[in-house]
Amino acid sequence: MNLKLALAATAALALGAVADSYAQKLTGFNAWSKVAGNTVKATVDGKQMEEYYDSSGVVKHLEGGSKISTGKWVLEGANVCFTYPGDEKACYVIEVDGDIATFTSKTHGGFRATIIPGNPHKL
């Protein structure tokens, strides 16, 4: 009888762990709510970059540690879209799993970034 209870408890714990891992993966607005107001850091095309997403719709992009560009972000359905002066609009599907944000676009490729709380470099 104790073995049956132990097996049932083990199975319940395993199912709970699987459910928790799925619960952490966010998309669309829920994912963006974890990114807005924070910074992401990634290597894109061999270059280090950081972006800070102000909650008012402003994005600050730091590339290579010295070049800062300012643009705008907006949610369009499940996508987040960015516009920078002189560039066309780029829209991405975003997925957040823990502190990792994945940005994917059919036209602009994609990248995976680490979410850093706040704006540590005062972009």
Residue 11 lies in a domain: no
Which pLDDT tens digit goes with each residue over 47-78? 899 999 999 999 999 988 788 999 999 999 88
Number of domains in the chain: 1
Query: What is the reported pLDDT for 13?
Result: 45
* Separation between Cα atoms, residue 53 and residue 67, nearest integer Å: 16
Q: Which residues contact 36 (CB under 8 A, 6 or more apart)?
A: 53, 54, 55
Residue 2 lies in a domain: no
Residue 19 lies in a domain: no
Most distant CA atoms of the chain, gap in Å:
71
* Separation between Cα atoms, residue 49 and residue 60, nearest integer Å: 10
* Separation between Cα atoms, residue 27 and residue 113, nearest integer Å: 15
Query: What is the reported pLDDT for 116?
Result: 97
State which residues of the chain have pLDDT below 50: 1-21
Residue 20 lies in a domain: no
Which CATH number does the domain housing residue 81 bear? 2.40.128.640
Best CA proximity match to 118, nearest among 70, 71, 60, 49:
60
What residues are paired with 29 via a beta bridge? none
- Tokens standing for 30? 């829920």
Residue 21 lies in a domain: no
Domain of 98, in residue numbers: 26-116
Query: What is the reported pLDDT for 9?
Result: 41
Query: What is the reported pLDDT for 68?
Result: 92
Query: What is the reported pLDDT for 23?
Result: 57
Residue 50 lies in a domain: yes
Residue 94 lies in a domain: yes
